Amino acid sequence: MADERPIIEEELPPEPVIAPGYTFGTVTDQIASVVLTRRTPAFWMACFSAGFALLLVFLWCVALLFAKGVGIWGIMIPVGWGFAITNFVWWIGIGHAGTLISAILLLLNQRWRNSINRFAEAMTLFAVACAGMFPLLHMGRPWLFYWMFPYPNTMGVQPQFRSPLVWDVFAVSTYATVSFLFWFVGLMPDLATLRDRATNRMARGVYGMLAMGWRGSAHHWLHYETASLLLAGLATPLVLSVHTVVSFDFTIAIVPGWHSTFFPPYFVAGAIYSGFAMVLVLAIPLRWVYGLEGLITDKHLDNSAKVMLATGLIVGYSYMLETFTAWYSGNVYESSALWNRMTGPYAGAYWFLITCNIVSPQFLWFKRVRSKPLFLFLASLVVLMGMWLERFVIIVTSLAQDFLPSSWRVFHPTRWDWATYAGTIGLFTFLFFLFIRLLPMISIFEVRTLLPQAKIEEEGEA
Amino acid sequence: MKPRPPIYGVMAEFNNPTALVNAAREARARGYRKMDAYTPFPIEELNEALHLSKSKLPLIVLTGGILGGLTGFLMQYYVTVIYFPINVAGRPLDSWPMYIVITFELTILFAAISAVFGLLALCGLPMPYHPTFNVPRFARASRSRFFLCIRATDPLFDRKATEDFLESLEPREVAEVAH
Amino acid sequence: MSESKKLDLPAVRALLEKSHGREYWRSLEDLAQTDAFQDLMHREFPRYASEWEDGDSRRNFIKLMGASLALAGLSACTRQPTEHINPYVRQPEELVPGRPMFFATAMPLGASSTGLLVESHEGRPTKIEGNPDHPSLGACDVYAQASVLGLYDPDRSQALAQEGEIRSWGAFLGTVQQAVAAQKAKQGAGLRILTETVTSPTLADQIKGMLAVFPGAKWHQWEPAVAHSAAAGARLALGQPVNTTYDLRGANVIVSLDADFLSSGPGSLRYARQFAAGRRVRTPQTDMNRLYVVEPMPTPTGTKADHRLPLRAADVEQFAWSLAAALGADTSGRKGVPNAAFDKWIGPIARDLQRHRGASLVIAGEQQSPAVHALAHSMNALLGNVGKTVVYTEPVEANPVDQVASLYDLVKDLDAGAVDLLVVLGGNPVYDAPVELGFRDRLKKATLRVHLSLHEDETSELCHWHLPMTHYLETWSDCRAHDGTVTIMQPLIAPLYAGKSVHEVLTMLTDQPERSGYDIVKSYWNSQHTGADFEAWWRKAVHDGVVPDTALPVKTVALRAGWAASLPQPAGQQGLEIVFRPDPAVYDGRFANNGWLQEFPRPITQITWDNAAFMSPATAHEKGVVTSDLVELEYRGYKMRAPVSIQPGHADGSVTVHLGYGRTRAGHVGTRIGFNAYGMRTSTALWQDFGLNARKVGSDYLLVSIQDYHALDTRRHIIEATTIDKYRSNPNVIQESAEAPPRELTLYPEYRYDKYAWGMAIDLTACTGCGACVVACQAENNIAVVGKQEVHHGRHMHWIRVDSYFHGDIENPKIYNQPVPCMQCENAPCELVCPVQATSHSSEGLNDMVYNRCVGTRYCSNNCPYKVRRFNFFLFSDWNTPSLKLQRNPDVTVRSRGVMEKCTYCVQRINRAKIDAEKEERKVRDGEIQTACQATCPTEAIIFGDINDPNSRVTKLKAEKINYGLLADLNTRPRTTYLAALRNPNPEIET
């Protein structure tokens, strides 16, 4: 996979990934204290409340949606899919970075990952949660969503396994399950730590139950290491497959602008692109607020930025390829679809996304830029916006102007489209900050292994 | 059967992984077999020091994966060809290339689930109670300290002698582990 | 802003010149790339985030209707009339539950009527079909198709009202008998009866009877949209009023002088059928008639023209003069003002006509001036068409009067205070009388005013007594067709409300007030009947839906020599012209409260829920307006605000407005939408006049058309068209241009359809785009009405639509109509992507849609290249209003919220026929199944059948060389295919 190459080339860091001066104890205490002892900072309160407020907006939208129907959105014939599916693809994509960091980088033995994989995985889970809701919400009769699953029923009908939507159901639910298991397994030793360090009885009880009696015995670690490697090995093809399957939603259809074979790599690259952007958007403020610069060092930001740059280039290449094939195919539907995209009612959106996704990452070539957290933060926001627009443009413009001009129409989002979208961002923030508060956002035991003291001096060496 | 020994075993606490690994090697050399080490992070050298056998987890996962793959494909074949054969878009009933995705997904799903539950089973988790927890300082095993515990069921185990032996390894402290 | 919005005409022309080859386009704004168009296309989100509310207000009024109905205490039960009515025997005599029966009747409209067979389910009329035995030849227009909804309209007035107070018929009888008694003394000098055009022999007999009793009484007639000047024209040329009917079977060359004879006016259904028959080219040898049309506003007839010339309505008269002169008709030396636009046409057309003496036809438009009618008479006489393609009879109207004069007469008496009792039977004069009469105020001068009508409308408001009228499907009556043929109308259902028919109300003024409509009609015909066994005769007449030998006898008339001498020398007129025409959907306004008709996309313009000021691109350019701008029309001091709609092919210097909108008391559906063109319509210029001023006063009026604006790349195989000559020289010309992949190019094993394989062929040469199929489908398949806002959002529900495409220059483009139902693809893209198998293929090749299984992902619609699938974004179907439930077709599911729906080839009809066939152990016969769209089509453009049967009509059509599949290059293998549009241009004009 092209998108991993820069990571492979990435040497083991010459200087330690963790700032000097840490001991097993201090590492443990600093990370655990965020959860256990330290007072909740105002920053957390602010973000959490904001998230919660947006979450309420989301619930409001959903209530109205179920009461009245999907007509409250701007969708119509021919544009049957609007914001809902756009958001779905966007969120799923964001999830990918988490799995990539935790699984692929683990396989590639990129040990710098250890201090960011935990919250990256959490991010994956919550992103998938947001994404997973849209296929359900966008249905005309959401209360029948379970008809998408194969189950013995009196109707004698089963899902239509040739439909990419059914593939989605399987891919996304598998992805969600596996990500959760992987994440939870990773948590077990740290839960034990929390159990042992918790002062108040209830916390100890809860963490104790979750840790399931983990003792960190040599036997445990033996199986544990094997398990994480296996899970990583499983998650890697999975994460690549999920966005491939999502892209099938479009490539399997005959709609001009959708029906093309290079979507899978294109989508996967885009997913990781937006995913790492989200990682940076979360990591940069967190390490600043909780003073974790020692654990999430500039090294991490730098590497993430490089990954963004690489995937961003792949995405840019895809845009060019898309244009080329449309022209080269000589297919009237394909070429006019792309022409409409560039010059038609959505030209603004199209060119804006080009700016966001192709122009902005070029700055990341420069080390000086990559070492400026604030700039990285802004760049990541731009990329996130750009990737959302990309999905919107692909989905909506292709549908708006397909085969028979007599049916062509322009899609206008309603306020409910926007509110629902903003609502899921709220849900994400809500869940994420809950996680920050209740679980160690950095994998404590894996950071311990990064410390020099963790190395065994054999006889003769010393 | 033999009567239940009065205590679970004897446990020594070390400051750093190297000391622990050396201690483990010593104990092994002394002929102790029924022992275990407790560390805040995985230490490969311990496996060799304690002569731990390789994990069976990969086998479990492989089985799970194969099972999942079969389930996925056969389910789809059964539904589209036997259970509810109907003309969809003029495509043949057995359009197997269309089944690949779900087959793949179920393979991964089953494999991953068997990996996690396999792990728990092999570690004997969940285990709410364990004698080692009776040692107050054991709480540090999940933070910064390294423990070696020789169990009373070991044939060579002798309450006095084993404690002396452990003391000779210059631990921070040696403690008896009650049941 | 308004500057920048200007339509850059030169740019458009340049653009069109660049576009070599057949360049079809959907609209002007598209070509023009005006800012307005850019605006329209460039509403970049998040702009237009305006729908906090989902604009489903229609739902609310449906609820209101439900409520109003509940108040009226109407239950959903129906009662057969007590009198004996006669089923039209197609099915077994006796009523079988679950099986519809068909009853013959007719729908009177203006000076004509349409013969119907009404489908009745357990006593509920649910669907209108044409009666093949009637002169209308078994076809239906949109009005007839939609009339069944009018019957169940919850807004129909449900009780007598005396100045708003509910009263009993008894109370009314008392009052009116008193008033009549008072009239007895004065010979009825104060009694006035105002009706619409009357063709009913019974009614005429009743009124004449009254006038005999009350010699002083007067009978006035006013109907806004009938051919007012035809009679005058006949008097002018022939010295007497006559009824002119045409026989197009023998007409090889037809010249229409602003006559939309294919889709409106008396006999249009018959003419359309005959006209299409004369164009059906099946072998290169067969001949094809030729049609010339001159008209201001494109009409369905115009779309069929081989040569169409947009002329101002006034110039049509000049054209007629010139043509007549060129033919050497006796015009007393008068000839049309020379006009560059048509002069070059006169010669070729004249020669073409002369080449076909006795086989040609000149038709004058109903709305054209008497002179044009007279000229048409004289040209037809000159060409020896009279008796062949033109047939004269006595007028169809029982009492052919100059309705304007008649109304003036009434007004005069009103002013004189001579009217004690004014009985208005039907009609809505307060709304539609010529504006200068100020009828609204003058009406009040009558001492006692009684109004009988279906709705409590503008006129009822001003009358002392409002009487609810029975719908024609609830009424015993009779009426005449365009050729005079009488139909005895029988009620399909007892009156839903306390209504009475016009006959019953009229009899209340007599000394035997209690007679039922049945008695009145039957006894009248008994009195007319000669010969034995009236009962048998009556039974047969009612059963057949036509009374034998009642067509008016052919009348021989002679052209008055020098008739033209009385006319002034025709002079050219200057200025902007205003043209009044009946609305293609709501007609003169009487159908304003009919949801189906409001939502029916008007032919060519595709506009719904509105009327507009239609003008040509050049005129719009000159006025600096674009579509959906608001203009203030000023004419003779009357002012009116109207939305602009630029109509390519409209005559320059002319503005067409449609009547029938701006109703103030129509009902929940029709009140206060559009603008009321009657507000500018005077009796001296009922149809067209000069002296209009138009200036832009606003923009962004929500003018909703179901087709948005886009150019059509000719590389897309959508409309295939050629000329008869090209086809003759190379019969494969169509197939060569198409790119259908060969069937054998597939990896898959083919599915085989052994028993039946349903298919459809649509003849673009025949289709006039009248849209009857759209409304027929709506009625047959319980299709919901969604309202203007939702149509604007692109959520209209029609299962079949008629796309229209323009081709050629913007001043005078050729216009093509294309009905698009579901293509029932054999490789249906929609099926492949449905996650729950809610849509899949039947063993007979139907693309089935299982509503109950649909979860509403809309993926199928996304993947449908024809976009024929419709989605219930809200609960569009009305599940509450009892009366609307009565209308529903019990064989078709009423869809609920969140499910996809689509054309099924009327699968319910297919199954009914298959069951019949199986019972008789035979296969379904060809033609036994008619889809709703096919059954109503006036031109038989839609043919459905079994393509496994080598002898079926559809199989033969599909074997035609000009048969092609829409977007066949996608290899969807559509079961619905099209026959290319053939034209027969005059080589002298177009080479």
pLDDT at C15 over 80: no
Q: Do C832 and B86 touch (CB under 8 A)?
A: no
pLDDT of A350 strictly over 80 = yes
Q: CB distance from B87 to chain C under 8 Å?
A: yes
B148-152, C5-9, C106-110: range with highest mean pLDDT: C106-110
Residues of chain B within CATH 3.30.70 domain(s) are: 7-55+128-178
Q: Is C841 within 8 Å of chain A by CB?
A: no
pLDDT at A455: 79
- Average the pLDDT over C505-511 and give the result: 92
For helices C534-544 and C517-528, the axis angle rounded to 10 degrees is 120
Q: What is the number of residues in chain B?
A: 179
Where on the phi/psi map is residue C484: left (φ > 0), alpha (ψ -120 to 50), or beta? left
Q: Show the tokens assigned to A90.
A: 């966007």
Packed helices C370-382 and C313-327: angle between N→C axes, nearest 10 degrees = 30
pLDDT at C860: 96
To the nearest whole Å, the CA of B92 is away from the closest chain C CA by: 7
Cβ contact A406–C900 (<8 Å): no
Identify the CATH homologous superfamily for domain A17-150+157-452.
Answer: Formate dehydrogenase/DMSO reductase domain (1.20.1630.10)
Give the pLDDT band (50/70/90) at residue C53: very low
Could you tell me if C57 lies within 8 Å of chain A, comparing CB atoms? no
**B143 to chain A, closest Cα gap in Å:** 6
Across the interface, of A208, A216, A457, the residue whose CB is closest to B40 is A216
The shortest C-alpha distance from B85 to chain C (Å) reads: 11
Task: Give the gap in angstroms from C-alpha C959 to the nearest C-alpha of chain B.
Answer: 23
Of C230, C310, C311, C227, the residue nearest C572 (C-alpha) = C311
* Cβ contacts from A onto B, under 8 A: 189
Q: Do A224 and A186 touch, CB atoms closer than 8 A? A: no
Give the whole-angstrom CA distance, residue C303 versus residue C702: 27
Give which of C165, C214, C212, C164 is closest to C188, Cα–Cα: C214
From the list B16, B39, B119, the residue facing A223 with the nearest CB is B119
Cβ distance C835 to A78 less than 8 Å, yes or no, reads no
CB C786 within 8 A of CB C796: yes
Taking the Cβ of residue B90 and every Cβ of chain C, the question of whether any pair is shorter than 8 Å is answered with yes
A205 at the B interface (CB within 8 A)? Answer: no
Residues A65-108: tens digit of each pLDDT: 999 999 999 999 999 999 999 999 999 999 988 888 888 888 88
Quick one: closest CA in B to C842, which residue? B87
Confidence of residue C991 (pLDDT cuts 50, 70, 90): low
**Chain A environment of C603 (Cβ under 8 Å):** none
How much is the average pLDDT of A345-374? 89
Closest CA to A390 of A254, A301, A257: A257
Nearest by CB: C45 against A140, A412, A416? A412
C871, C882 in Cβ contact below 8 A? no
Taking the C-alpha atoms of residue B112 and residue B106, their distance in angstroms, rounded to an integer, is 10
Cβ of A237 and B108 within 8 Å?
A: yes
Q: Which of B79, B81, B86, B98 to mutate: most C Cβ within 10 Å?
A: B86
- Fold of domain B7-55+128-178: Alpha-Beta Plaits (3.30.70)
Mean pLDDT of chain A: 88
Query: Which residues in A lie closer than 8 A to residue B98 (C-beta atoms)?
Result: 161-162
Smallest Cα–Cα separation from A189: which of A212, A172, A156, A164? A212
pLDDT number for residue A454: 78
Give me the residue from A77, A158, A159 closest to C861, CB to CB.
Answer: A77
Closest-CA residue to C204 (of C397, C407, C469, C486):
C397
CB pairs below 8 Å between A and C: how many? 203
pLDDT at C94 over 60: no
CA distance A182 to chain B (A): 8
**What's the pLDDT score for residue C88?**
60
Q: Which one of A69, A139, A155 has the shortest CB-CB distance to C855?
A: A139
Rounded to an integer, what distance in angstroms lies between the CA atom of residue C378 and that of residue A228? 99
Q: Which of C829, C830, C840 sits opposite B87 (nearest CB)?
A: C840
A167 has a chain B CB within 8 A of its CB = yes
Closest residue on chain C to B91 (Cα)? C748
Assess C827–B contact: CB distance below 8 Å, yes or no. yes
Does the pLDDT at position C7 exceed 70?
Answer: no
pLDDT of A134? 93
B81: closest CA of chain C, how far (Å): 14
Say whether B45 and A162 touch across the interface (CB within 8 A): no
Are C941 and C819 spatial neighbours (Cβ–Cβ below 8 Å)? yes
The model's confidence at residue A3, banded by pLDDT at 50, 70 and 90, is very low
A214 touching chain B per CB within 8 A: yes
- CB-closest option in A76, A139, A344 to C857: A139
Inter-chain touch B106–A208, beta carbons under 8 Å: no
Which of helix, strand or coil describes residue A94?
helix
Q: Average pLDDT over chain C, rounded to whole?
A: 88
Sort out which chain B residues have CB atoms less than 8 A from C749's CB and list them: 92
DSSP state of A395: I
Q: Which of C750, C829, C843 sits opposite B89 (nearest CB)?
A: C829
Residue with tokens 């009620």: C491
Record: contact B52-A222, CB cut-off 8 A:
yes
Q: Which residues of C touch A385 (CB under 8 A)?
A: none
Determine which of C23, C26, C45 to mutate to test the interface with A (most A C-beta atoms within 10 Å): C45
Report the C-alpha gap between A128 and A84 in whole angstroms.
Answer: 14
Selected residues 96-155 of chain B with any CB under 8 Å from a CB in chain A: 98-99, 101-102, 104-106, 108-109, 111-113, 115-116, 118-120, 122-123, 125-130, 132-133, 139-144
pLDDT at B128: 83
* Nearest-by-Cβ selection for A254 from C48, C710, C865: C865
Written as one string, the DSSP assignment of A345-372 is TTHHHHHHHHIIIIIGGGGGGSHHHHT-
Touching partners of C (3+ C-beta pairs < 8 Å): A, B
Confidence bin at B144 (pLDDT 50/70/90): confident
Query: What is the band of B5 on the pLDDT scale with cuts at 50, 70, 90?
Result: confident
Interface subset of C 688-727, CB within 8 angstroms of A: 707-708, 710-713, 715-716, 718
Contact A221 B140 (CB under 8 A): no
pLDDT > 80? residue C71: no
Strands, E, within B54-168: which ranges? 146-151
CB contact, 8 Å: B94 with chain C? no
Distance in angstroms (rounded) separating the CA atoms of residues C618 and C649: 10
Percent of chain C with pLDDT over 90: 75
Q: How confident is the model at residue C41 (pLDDT cuts 50, 70, 90)?
A: very low
Facing residue for A216 by CB, picked from B39, B91, B129: B39
Question: Does the pLDDT of residue C75 top 50, yes or no?
Answer: no
Q: Does residue C888 surpass a pLDDT of 90?
A: yes
Per-residue pLDDT, C62: 47
Chains that touch A (3 or more CB pairs under 8 A): B, C
Average pLDDT over residues C526-554: 91
* Contacts of B among chains (3+ CB pairs under 8 A): A, C
Contact C832 B92 (CB under 8 A): no
Rounded-to-integer distance, Cα A398 and Cα A420, Å: 23
CA–CA separation, C733 and C722 (whole Å)? 8
A408 pLDDT higher than 70: yes
| pLDDT at residue A380 in the model | 93
pLDDT, position A196: 86
- Judged by CB atoms closer than 8 Å, whether chains meet at A174 and B58 is answered as no
Q: Are C794 and A416 an interchain contact pair (Cβ–Cβ within 8 Å)?
A: no
- Measure C715 CA to nearest chain A CA, in Å: 7
Under an 8 A CB cutoff, do A345 and C44 touch? yes
